[in-house]
Amino acid sequence: MLRRPAPPDGYRAGAGHGLSVHGDGQAGLAGTASANGSLRTKSLSGTIVCKDLGDGGCTYGVGIYSQPRQDTSAQTNWDGHNGVRYPAYCQVPGGVGNQQSGATLHAGAYNNYKTSNMWVRIGPSRYVPWVWFNLDNGDQLANLPTC
């Protein structure tokens, strides 16, 4: 019997998790066995996508923030240029900041017309809107745990 209780924060990408195995022999047969071990979930990463359409819209890259909202007070100096890769830790709904009128963002033609209010944590207190971040797993946001 494999016993692997889920940790309270879920199975985060790239995290280690303990497990234990215990076996009992059938009735009338002697023998039991136990073992402990660990496993690591596969890491998930992604790429910033802001395609150059020749209009200067992606010249400075996309914003990476210390909170999941587009707000001047939360801007960071992390590189948000097209093609830059980051690990993806978890997903979280974004809030409204002072740089946009609503929580839902629209990438337009710069990234295949993605529209979403979801953000991806890519580092300690670092978030990027999912509309600008394509995950390596076919861009399946559901594979990331919630933050």
Q: Which tens digit of pLDDT belongs to each residue from 108-142? A: 999 999 999 999 999 999 999 999 999 999 999 99
- The whole-number average pLDDT for the span 49-67 is 96
Q: What is the pLDDT of residue 2?
A: 36
Which backbone phi and psi does 17 adopt, to 5 degrees?
-140, 135
DSSP E strand stretches across the chain: 2-3, 16-24, 32-40, 45-48, 85-87, 90-93, 105-106, 115-116, 118-123, 126-129, 133-135
Report yes or no: 14 and 44 within 8 Å, Cβ to Cβ.
yes
Q: What is the pLDDT of residue 3?
A: 35
Would you say residue 98 has pLDDT above 50? yes
- Identify the DSSP state of 47: E
Would you say residue 27 has pLDDT above 70? no
- The whole-number average pLDDT for the span 74-91 is 96
Q: Quote the mean pLDDT of the chain.
A: 83
What is d(CA 19, CA 41) in angstroms, rounded to the nearest whole number? 13
Would you say residue 95 has pLDDT above 50? yes
Neighbouring-strand partners of residue 38: 18
Q: What is the pLDDT of residue 32?
A: 66
Confidence of residue 100 (pLDDT cuts 50, 70, 90): confident
